[in-house]
Chains A and B, each alone.
Chain A
Amino acid sequence: MRGKPLAAIVSAGMSRFGVLEGRYSREIFSEAAREAFEGCPNLDPKSDIQGVFVGQMAGESFEHQGHWGPVLADWAGLLPAPATRFETACASSASAMRSAIFSLRSGMYDVVLAGGVEKMTNRTTEEVTEFLGFGADHPFETFQGLTFPGLYALMANAHIHRYGTTEEQMAMVAVKSHRYGALNPKAHFQREITLEKALSSRVVAWPLKLYDCCPISDGAACLVLTRPELARRYTDVPVYIVGSGHASDSIALHEREELTSLKAARLAAAEAYEMSGVEPGDIDVAEVHDCFTIAELIAYEDLDFCARGEGGLMIEEGRTEMAGEIPVNISGGLKSKGHPVGATGAAQTYEIFRQLRGEAGESQVEDAEVGLTHSVGGSGATAVINIYGRG
């Protein structure tokens, strides 16, 4: 690693993910904030936290509620701290984190809270399908009847056609996610599945079946960030953000140069690798945006964990298992841990924070010192990639 870290993470919190009956975004966010505050005895949240940056994708539709910045700051007990909500579809809290970093780098703030939340399980699958569709192109995708699983199915079919990737290889991602989700007490699904079960599940958007798709979940996650030079005031084991990349692409998939790779993710990865001096082979543990199984295989390729077209081979050879060369989604990933869309980016960072501090319990990757998060909004119009190092 080289250069000065961008920011330090000194505490983190995450609610349980899943069906949180009778609890809505603000209450779920409180749960994540409480864990972050309790995990940092040297922090006085009310006097130390100067800004709140939150991701929330579609609360207007899910909960008839907007204006999330102050709502969530209030329920975290942080009024009158200035609070702003960020929306980049499923990467919303990764974008909130980026702006939190900028606020520290500018010198405006010393300590900030960044996080995100989504409440989704109060709605029917039909309604959720419609609301998640807001992250796609309305006039030329959702107006045509395309859904989010449909968009990733278009990529999956193109990947199958171009590289010979198989439905079995995609199902192996789901099996891996569930194997590790079973070790995560906060995961939506905590049970293993078989390859046969994944392959025989009902079709959602061919070639994607139910077990190729992440579930509909409620959940929240948040992080306390500070400037690197102040980190030791708050903890003896800070985790540093040493590189960060972010890029945008066309909202409509059909306007992209390629259908088998996310250009925004490749550009964001190049930026984060360059900034940190970290190379793909240096990554000890990664959390990638596996909203659908094909997305994890494409992530391996976009992050240069393997060559283009070899994502299917990488999962088949077990190279991203806990004991493999780059353990990926040891939290259970979006597939098994759950994907409350506004919370996901922060929840990926929560996992890396625990891994790099050696606090991941049964899920601990041995000697994890360098981590990576890969967050994607929509079908790839947003990508945010961060690289982390142990203090």
Chain B
Amino acid sequence: MKLSEPFTIESFYRHVGEGRLTAARCLNCDSMLLPPRPLCPVCLASDMEWLELGGKGKVKTFTVIHIAPREFRDNAPYAVAIVELEEGVRITGQVRGVRSEEVEIGMEVEIAFESNESGEWPSWARYHFKPV
């Protein structure tokens, strides 16, 4: 990875577009930051390095959205989970590739990547989770 790449959400989603899940690691206090940030919220240092995560984890909690905003209207009902990744950090994402009523807490999932054709800001690439 390029050393000059800023530790921003824009960079995070550029990596998603490349099929990679990344976080920042604070070189001062070793905190893992997902999303990456330019200033460590734990120790206030700004020396970071990029980490590539494995994208595997477990469902910590989930819901099934029936009333969705306009952008997601056609997907409803859909499951959204907080996933605890093997590296210890958590992230929120949809769970697909399984009937929403079969999603459960503790379920093992892995990340999948997709493009974003919406044409609206933000044009970030998308990710979701699917059962292992």
Name A's B-contacting residues (CB within 8 A).
Answer: 125-127, 129-130, 133, 139-147, 149-150, 153-158, 161, 202-208, 252-255, 259
Q: How far is the CB of B116 from chain A (nearest CB, A)?
A: 10
- Nearest chain A residue, comparing its CB with the CB of B41: A250
Q: Quick one: which of B61, B62, B93, B122 has the most chain A CB within 10 A?
A: B61
In the complex formed, the residue of B with least CB distance to A207 is B63
B82-120 contacts to A, CB under 8 A, are: 82, 90-94, 100, 105
Q: What separation, in Å, do the CA atoms of A202 and B77 have in the docked complex?
A: 12
Please tell me if the beta carbons of B78 and A154 are within 8 angstroms of each other in the complex: no
CB within 8 A of A204: which of B66, B70, B105? Answer: B66
Q: Are B61 and A155 in contact (CB under 8 A)?
A: yes
- The residues of A that contact B94 with a CB separation of less than 8 Å are 144-145
| Min distance, Cβ B36 to any Cβ of chain A, angstroms | 11
* B75:A154 contact, CB within 8 angstroms: no
Assuming the A-B contacts A125-B67, A204-B67, are A141 and B61 also in contact, with contact meaning beta carbons closer than 8 angstroms in the complex?
no
Q: Which residues does chain B contribute within 8 Å of A161, judged by CB atoms?
A: 61, 105
- When distances are taken between beta carbons in the complex, the residues of chain B under 8 Å from A140 are 35, 91-92
Tell me if B124 and A143 are in contact (CB < 8 A): yes
B residues less than 8 Å from A156 (CB atoms): 63
- Name the one of A142, A206, A207, A252 contacting B69, with C-beta atoms under 8 angstroms: A142
In the bound complex, do residue B61 and residue A259 qualify as a contact, i.e. CB atoms below 8 Å apart? Answer: yes
Give the residue name and chain of the B residue nearest to A130 (CB): B69
Residues of B in contact (CB 8 Å), total 31
Q: Which residues of A contact B62 (CB under 8 A)?
A: 154, 157
- Chain A residues within an 8 Å CB radius of B90: 254-255
**Would you call B92 and A158 a contact (CB within 8 A)?**
no
Query: Which residues of chain B come closer than 8 Å to A155, judged between CB atoms?
Result: 61
A186 to chain B, nearest CB (A): 27
A155–B82 Cα distance when bound, in Å, is: 10
- Do B92 and A126 have beta carbons less than 8 Å apart? no
Do B91 and A254 have beta carbons less than 8 Å apart?
yes
Residues on the A chain within 8 Å of B65, using CB: 145-147, 149-150, 205
Chain B nearest CB, measured from A43 CB (Å): 44
CA separation between A206 and B63, bound complex, in Å? 5
The docked-state distance in angstroms from the alpha carbon of A139 to that of B9 is 8
A207 → B minimal CB distance (Å): 8
Cβ of A144: which chain B residues have Cβ within 8 Å of it? 80, 92-94
Q: Which residues of B contact A126 (CB under 8 A)?
A: 68-70, 73
Q: Which residue of B lies closest to A149 (CB)?
A: B67
**Is B82's CB under 8 angstroms from A259's CB?**
yes
Known: A126-B69, A204-B66. A141 touches B92 (CB 8 A): yes
Q: How far in angstroms is the closest Cβ of chain A from B35?
A: 7
Once the chains are docked, how many angstroms separate the CA of A254 from the CA of B69? 21
Q: How far is the CB of B102 from chain A (nearest CB, A)?
A: 13
Within the complex, the shortest CB–CB distance from A62 to chain B, in Å, comes to: 15
By a CB distance below 8 angstroms, the chain A residues around B68 are 126, 129, 145, 147
Assembled-state Cα–Cα distance A259/B92 (Å) = 13
Q: 5 A-B residue contacts at CB 8 Å?
A: A139-B13, A141-B92, A154-B80, A254-B92, A259-B61
Shortest Cβ-Cβ A-B pairs, 8 listed = A153-B63, A158-B61, A206-B64, A254-B90, A145-B72, A130-B69, A254-B82, A203-B66
Measured between beta carbons, the chain B residues less than 8 angstroms from A147 are: 65, 67-69
Flag if B66 contacts A252 (CB, 8 Å): no
When distances are taken between beta carbons in the complex, the residues of chain B under 8 Å from A202 are: 66
A157 contacts which of B61, B67, B69 (Cβ < 8 Å)?
A: B61
> For the complex, what is the distance from the CA of A145 to the CA of B90, rounded to whole Å?
17
A205 x B92 contact (CB < 8 A): no
> Bound state CA distance, A125 and B92, in angstroms?
23
State whether A150 touches B80 (Cβ < 8 A).
yes
| Among candidates A133, A145, A158, A252, residue contacting B80 with C-beta atoms closer than 8 Å | A145
CA distance A203 to B72 in the complex (A): 16
Taking the nearest CB of chain B, how far is it from the CB of A259, in angstroms? 6
Cα(A133)–Cα(B72), bound, Å: 13
Tell me which of B9, B13, B67, B71 contacts A205 (CB under 8 A): B67
